[in-house]
Amino acid sequence: MNIADFPWLTFTILFPLAASALIPLIPDKEGKGRPIRWYALVIGLIDFAVIVYAFYTQYDFANPELQLVERYSWIPQLGLNWSVAADGLSMPLILLTGFITTLATLAAWPVTFKPRLFYFLILAMYGGQIAVFAVQDMLVFFLAWELELIPVYLLLAIWGGYKRQYAATKFILYTAGSSLFILLAALAMAFYGGGPVTFDMRSLALKDYSLTFQLLAYGGFLFAYGVKLPIIPFHTWLPDAHGEATAPVHMLLAGILLKMGGYALIRMNVEMLPDAHAYFAPALAILGVVNIIYAALTSFAQRSLKRKIAYSSISHMGFVLLGIASFTNLGLSGAVLQMVSHGLIGASLFFLVGATYDRTHTLILEEMGGVGQKMPKIFSMWTTCSLASLALPGMSGFVAELMVFVGFATSDAYNSTFKVIVIFLAAVGVILTPIYLLSMLREIFYGEENKELTAHEALIDAEPREIFIIACLLVPIIGIGLYPKMLTQVYDAKTVAIVARIRQSVPTLVARAPAHQEFAQAEVVYRAPAIAQK
């Protein structure tokens, strides 16, 4: 069989699902789940390896179209197709999913309560998450979106903390309720304008919708994805869900689930409904700024470590919104980069929260203090990851934020006043982020040892497994930070295509050439005499 014809994406989706079905058959004499976790880890690794191999051999960066396309008729009476594919938008996120989920499995080592169910759910999520990013059929997308909620609900409700029932219920009501709008908008788009009913995303994107319809559908999608991303004021499920989840679930929530919102926002709202996007974009920019500042302030005031980091996630997602609203290559590219970057950084921070809780058995900052002396390795990992989160240059977060900033600043879709206000406020976030993150570090690690804490908790420093997980996450964080082109070239063709399309929806931009064409030409002329290059 030719490797080009192998159904790579279908395999990566179904393999973990099928493998999870075999978990009940695995012998586990001790009852602590040791063989099961090894099994899950191996499955995760294999799947990740397959993803990497498939993209390495089959994926062409320069091509903005869908690749690795597979299409099977599923329920012909409904026009339902199982169709999966990857393009520049989904490919980095599929890779991220494989990477984070595998690491989350490794991070779940201390979980001994109901291990069979736990690893079953993790593997089910693995497949479900990839499906969300890969499917190209609206109806299947909706199914995958809903399907992945159930494992999260159970993971929260069974392995969560003290208020887990409340958090899990809130999570499911919020996301399931909002995702009804996806179904509604998808059905409407499929039936719109007569003709053969289709749910295929590419066909839907080519349809000619009236503006009113686009605006309505856009609003529906925006609500659904705004809850997931989350956009303030639809965010309150997140601190509760994060506050109660265990570390591996945390990593998945912050690393992947939030990215689904951003991904779908670009895939559906921006790509399929570009005319409506031209109307909604200023609102997105404002919401983005609100996200950045509001969440940074709430994070500063939070006294619980988990909730602090949860709010910091919300704050960082604001940059995704800004990038999406910028109408520039650079801005959109920065938005995608921010999603990947936050996936890595958020996962590492939440993993460290879990690792710290395992030792201190408290999340309240006042009950910690001075623990850096007993746990220097945990301390240095925390410092590194916090610096990554506050967008220190040399790490991926900085590049993403810088690209969004420059992209928005050079955007020609807004007038100067609007741009100045938005950028100024977003830059205030740049001051607020170190305030809450460094205060947090100071309260946990610096100063004299908290005698009350050390009296009854043995603070053991990080074990090799934990260092390994953080190191795995830091390699891409620093790699992208040092040489961002490594990642941006992967999806550049795609974001350029999307931006070219949405720019046509803004009447004022159509007449003009793409930004800076003439300057880019001029620059070459300029540089030559300036400095003699030897």
| Residues 465-484, interacting with another protein (CB under 8 A) | 467, 483-484
Question: Of these, 45, 410, 418, 501, which contacts another protein (CB under 8 A)?
Answer: 410
Least spacing, CB of residue 142 vs another protein, in Å: 14
| Residues 242-301, interacting with another protein (CB under 8 A) | 294, 297-298, 300-301
| Contact between 473 and 382 (Cβ < 8 Å) | no
Question: Of these, 105, 348, 495, 505, which contacts another protein (CB under 8 A)?
Answer: 495
143 near another protein, rule: CB under 8 A: no
Amino acid in position 58: Q
Question: Of these, 38, 53, 113, 424, which contacts another protein (CB under 8 A)?
Answer: 424
Strands (E), 2-148: 67-75, 80-86
Our CB check for another protein shows the closer of 150 and 467 to be 467
504 near another protein, rule: CB under 8 A: no
**Torsions phi, psi of 29, nearest 5?**
-70, -40
Our CB check for another protein shows the closer of 66 and 337 to be 337
| Residues 330-389, interacting with another protein (CB under 8 A) | 330, 332-334, 370, 372-373, 376-377, 379-380, 383, 387
Least spacing, CB of residue 339 vs another protein, in Å: 15
Stretch that binds another protein, among 2-10, 35-43, 149-157, 230-238 (CB under 8 A): 230-238
The residue to which tokens 């909604």 are assigned:
280
Least spacing, CB of residue 417 vs another protein, in Å: 12
517 near another protein, rule: CB under 8 A: yes
The residue to which tokens 């989840």 are assigned:
245
| Residues 439-458, interacting with another protein (CB under 8 A) | 439, 442, 445-449
Stretch that binds another protein, among 51-59, 155-163, 248-256, 322-330 (CB under 8 A): 322-330
Task: Please give the Cα distance from 499 to 514 (Å, whole number).
Answer: 10
Side-chain-side CA neighbours of 362 within 13 Å: the count stands at: 17
Least spacing, CB of residue 274 vs another protein, in Å: 16
Least spacing, CB of residue 265 vs another protein, in Å: 19
N- to C-terminal Cα distance for the chain?
53
Our CB check for another protein shows the closer of 158 and 496 to be 496
Question: Of these, 90, 97, 329, 389, which contacts another protein (CB under 8 A)?
Answer: 329
71 near another protein, rule: CB under 8 A: no
Stretch that binds another protein, among 32-40, 73-81, 144-152, 323-331 (CB under 8 A): 323-331
Our CB check for another protein shows the closer of 170 and 242 to be 170
Q: Is 304 helix (H, G, I), strand (E, B) or coil?
A: strand
Output the CA–CA distances (angstroms, integers) from residue 49 to 14, 17, 102, 179, 390, in the order listed: 15, 16, 10, 32, 31
364 forms beta bridges with 304
80 forms beta bridges with 75
| Contact between 487 and 320 (Cβ < 8 Å) | no
* x/- track of binding to another protein for residues 196-215 (CB under 8 A): --------------x-xx--
Q: What is the DSSP letter of 200?
A: B
176 near another protein, rule: CB under 8 A: no
Our CB check for another protein shows the closer of 159 and 311 to be 311
| Contact between 260 and 228 (Cβ < 8 Å) | yes
* Residue among 9, 164, 178, 171 at smallest CA distance from 94: 9
* Residue among 174, 203, 168, 171 at smallest CA distance from 189: 203
Question: Of these, 143, 406, 421, 425, which contacts another protein (CB under 8 A)?
Answer: 406
Stretch that binds another protein, among 145-153, 261-269, 327-335, 451-459 (CB under 8 A): 327-335
Which residues, 6+ apart, have CB-to-CB distance to 2 below 8 Å?
none
| Torsion angle of C-alpha atoms 208, 213, 217, 222, degrees rounded to 10 | 100
Our CB check for another protein shows the closer of 132 and 440 to be 440
Question: Of these, 363, 398, 450, 453, which contacts another protein (CB under 8 A)?
Answer: 398
> Quick one: how many helices (H) and strands (E) in the chain?
24, 2
The residue to which tokens 């900052």 are assigned:
365
72 near another protein, rule: CB under 8 A: no
403 near another protein, rule: CB under 8 A: yes
Least spacing, CB of residue 336 vs another protein, in Å: 10
Which residues, 6+ apart, have CB-to-CB distance to 126 below 8 Å?
16, 17, 43, 44, 47, 97, 98, 101
Question: Of these, 22, 53, 63, 393, which contacts another protein (CB under 8 A)?
Answer: 393
Per rule CB under 8 A, count of chain residues that contact another protein: 89
Least spacing, CB of residue 8 vs another protein, in Å: 28
| Residues 114-133, interacting with another protein (CB under 8 A) | none
Our CB check for another protein shows the closer of 366 and 448 to be 448
Task: Please give the Cα distance from 475 to 370 (Å, whole number).
Answer: 28
| Contact between 281 and 265 (Cβ < 8 Å) | no
Task: Please give the Cα distance from 342 to 346 (Å, whole number).
Answer: 5
Tokens of 258: 């939030």
184 near another protein, rule: CB under 8 A: yes
